[in-house]
Structure 1
Amino acid sequence: FTVSKPGVFMRAKNIYLNGVPANIGPCPNEWLGSVDLILHGTSKSLEDPSYGGGFLLKDILEGKDIDVKVEAINGDIIESTTNIDEITRAQMIGTRMAFKNYTAFVNPSAEPVSSIFSAIPLEGNLKGLTFSGCGDLNPLQNDPNNLIIGNGTRVLLNGAEAIVLGQGTRSSPEKPNLMVSGNLKDMEANYVGGFKTGEGGEVYDTLAIPIPVLNEEIYNNLLIKNSDIPLTVADIKGRHLPLTQTNYGAMWDNH
């Protein structure tokens, strides 16, 4: 998007959107007054750590004006605003979406622990439990053998047509997840946003994947229940160390 008239600055060195830092992209755009950038959804505002990339994306999609500050390579500061109509191109890439299953966390130590997995510091002495994952609504739970979901599968990301690029980062056979991409400008604000945690603002997105019932195996896979899905409980400080196991039914059902 455009930051200033051509000729005002040679190149951008740093950029901030509503105080949230983003990375200047590889296109130099010398003297053009425009910028390419990469915004991380988990980036946090330097002015207010509770506000981050998720809140920023929602504000953009709601059509709000966004404050832009550019630090040029010569040290000049250029300030302007932009909005969804002035952003000419924006692509979202979800690098790690729709984990088939995740982990619940407890805090066996005496002192509270701040974490992105808890809205407030997680109390010690096993007084609380925090978990994530959507159980039997997760598309990967409903297609465990990847009969439908794979490279090139058409999906909805935040209400916009999108495509599965392949496995996400940290994906494994035991805990698979997806990398998905779609046009940000086609997305709907009510499906994306930020939420506050003990470690500041985080981001959420909404992914929908159609699973056509083409045969009996696919149909049987769709019958999975929350109570059938194991949920490992681990120490929040040693996330890879399991303490015990429960299931998603104990978390979701009858609550």
Structure 2
Amino acid sequence: MGGAAKASKTISQINERIRKGKAVVLNASEMVEAVKSMGKAKAAREVDVVTTGTFSPMCSSGMLFNIGQEPPLIKVQKMRLNNVPCHAGLAAVDAYLGVTELRKDDPLNKIHPGRFKYGGGHVIEDLVRGRAVSLWCESYGTDCYPKLKLEKEITLADLPYAQLFNPRNCYQSYNVAVNMTSRTIYTYMGPLKPNLKNANFATAGELSPLFNDPFFRTIGLGTKIFLGGGEGYVLGSGTQHNPRPKRSERGLPLHPAGTLMVRGDLKQMQARWLRGVSFLGYGSSLAVGVGIPIPVLDEDMAFFTGVCDADITMPVVDYGHDYPNGVKRVLAQPSYAELMSGEIRVNGESVATTPLTSRVMSLEIADALKERIQSGAFLLTEPQERIASV
């Protein structure tokens, strides 16, 4: 399935149909039914684009920005936004704010389990909502950059440049987190109760972008996407990208696999699709809305985009003992459909499940992207470089 198939359509031909208002566009759940009812051959002829979507915490996200200069000039050595540290080791007034960075007066090493954390993800949401945030800068001073301190209130409109730059988003499958210790633990997958009392998981299932193109045939450098409510682009594979995962007979990865690096203009985005989140007793992150159009080039792509929740399986991992110690042990491999039922079986026990990804908002993203394509406002792009998948 991973090899290139003879194309029955090209992206250029699909774009021409979009311009003329003749393109047939389905969201990924609709495509499941289409492939079931008409088969992959007819679906490949009838359907032009499948839209996908996911809305989930994506910790490897952040804002790359420039604060601009005012006389006298400054070369920033240290910077904070709403007291959240930014990395200023880029250029005079360039900086990067990671979504998991915590407010300076709210340090991660003194967590109380009953507290939530304010961090970089919340700063980004505040800016996108049009709220003012406090900027604090410090410099050692040079002949060309004499200013030593800068403090003021700023909004997103005040920043000459602000890009959402995410090194690792849209994981292609991920762990189902459980806890086999005798105490509650606090993780980036949320609180996990002792003795297998709950299981937390994250993905949008059949709506998830990389399950619909498991071999990255249409997604690569330059792919235009829905990002945070605006338009963005894929820059290539994300950090921790695993190009050679174990796969099911259908070609789907059996454990965490592909990832994407993406970016987009933050000033185009909407707070509905960028939400600062806190994990009890752990820290902060950002829930990001991503939608990717999948062109149905041939029968293979129709088959891939016909993936359903029952086809997708995810590994159950113990975050109490195994994960912290780097032990790669899979306790069970339930389907996404089973996970969404609210209960799975692990070691002979019934375990309640909770999704960290919003299925409702993931579908909303897929439908929003579908509407943009149908209206002619969103055309597809050719990937300029393939992402490794085999």
Q: Assess same fold via TM > 0.5.
A: yes
State the match for 2:364 in structure 1. Answer: none
Correspondences of 1:230-245 after superposition (within 5 Å): 230-237=313-320, 238-239=322-323, 240-245=328-333
Is the 2:74–2:148 Cα contact (8 Å) retained in structure 1? no
Cα distance in 1 for residues equivalent to 2:263 and 2:68: 26
Name 1:160's counterpart in structure 2. 230
Gaps in structure 2 of 5+ consecutive residues: 1-65, 108-116, 142-146, 246-256, 344-390
Alignment RMSD (CA, Å)? 2.0
CA offsets 1:88-128 (integer angstroms, 9 cap, x no match): 1012221111111000111101111111110xx32111111
Residue 6, structure 1, aligned to residue 64, structure 2: no
1:253–1:225 distance in 2 versus 1, CA, 3 Å? farther
Equivalence for 1:32: none
The alignment status of 1:135 with 2:135, answered yes or no, reads no
The answer as to whether partners of 1:3 and 1:80 remain within 8 angstroms in 2 is: no
Alpha-carbon distance change, 253 to 215 in structure 1, aligned in 2, over 3 angstroms: farther
Q: For 1:43, which of 87, 93, 101 is the aligned residue?
A: 101
Aligned counterparts of 2:196 and 2:240: Cα–Cα separation in 1: 28
Select the structure of larger CA radius of gyration. Answer: 2
Q: Which residue of 1 aligns with 2:266?
A: 184
Structure 1 residues 126 and 2: alpha-carbon distance in aligned structure 2, compared to 1, 3 A threshold: closer
- Number of residues paired by the alignment? 246
- Identity among equivalent positions (%) equals 31
CA contact (8 A) 2:76 2:88 kept: yes
Q: Which amino acid aligns with 2:196?
A: L
Higher relative contact order (CA 8 A, sep 6+): 2
Distance across 1 between alignment mates of 2:219 and 2:152:
42
Q: CA deviation at 1:4?
A: 7.3
Q: Secondary structure at the match of 1:217?
A: helix
Instruction: Return the alpha-carbon distance in structure 1 between the equivalents of residues 96 and 67 of structure 2.
Output: 15
Partner of 2:336: 248
**Aligned counterparts of 2:69 and 2:235: Cα–Cα separation in 1:** 35
Give the C-alpha shift of residue 195 in structure 1. Answer: 1.2
TM-score w.r.t. length of structure 1: 0.89
Q: CA 1:138–1:215 in 2, change beyond 3 Å: closer, same or farther?
A: same
After TM superposition, the score normalised by the length of structure 2 is 0.59
Aligned to 2:282: 199
Structure 2 counterpart of 1:97, which letter?
Answer: N
SS in 2 for 1:220: helix
Which structure has greater helix proportion?
2
Per the alignment, residue 20 of structure 1 pairs with: 84
Flag the 1:148–1:111 CA change in 2: closer, same or farther, 3 A.
same
Label 1:2 to 1:171 Cα distance change in 2 as closer, same or farther (>3 A).
Answer: closer
Q: 1:108 aligns with which of 164, 173, 180?
A: 180
Amino acid aligned to 1:185: K
What is the rounded CA distance, in whole Å, between the counterparts of 2:171 and 2:94 in structure 1?
Answer: 30
CA shift, 1:130, in A, is 1.1
- Residue deviations 1:20-43, cap 9 Å, x none? 110114223xxxxxx211111221
Give 1:77 shift.
Answer: 4.5
